[in-house]
Structure 1
């Protein structure tokens, strides 16, 4: 796998993750739950993150096992294939609890790849 592709895909995920954080900044779960536009924007971005992660498989999964690649792809599959059954509360918890540490891990990985 060319390292430029890996670096670019990681940057894509970082950019999209930052966008999700910006979309939901200063929102409570109640605000989020009532904002259909933000929900749809977040779900779309979750799908894009999953696609970017999937494009790195299987090499990235083997080379960088500290990143939860399987979970990222799994969430994408739920959003895309079971759209009307998506649990908004789980999405909210994921972007609040799991997204920030994921972005930190990817930033660290990006820094290692750049040096």
Structure 2
């Protein structure tokens, strides 16, 4: 990405920038959730990782994987309470706005 931008990445750059109808990346704009899911489906389909299996990858897979990593394997592990809050699985917490901004970068 740095080569395409012609500069080092900054903290305000998006990991998944929007893609114009021409196929060019729109670096100053984040991708939509539906566009990311379409990209994810395309990559998974072409990789054949789901060949012979039912189901599909969704953004929820990242949520589950991130929670599992933080709870089990990270150098600085999170408590179960923190993981439940971050994943939106805590019955008394609603962090959908935070979770959606993490997933979409917006």
TM-score by length of 1: 0.30
> Highest relative contact order (Cα 8 Å, sep 6+), 1 or 2?
1
Greater share of helix: 1
TM-score by length of 2: 0.32
Greater share of strand: 2
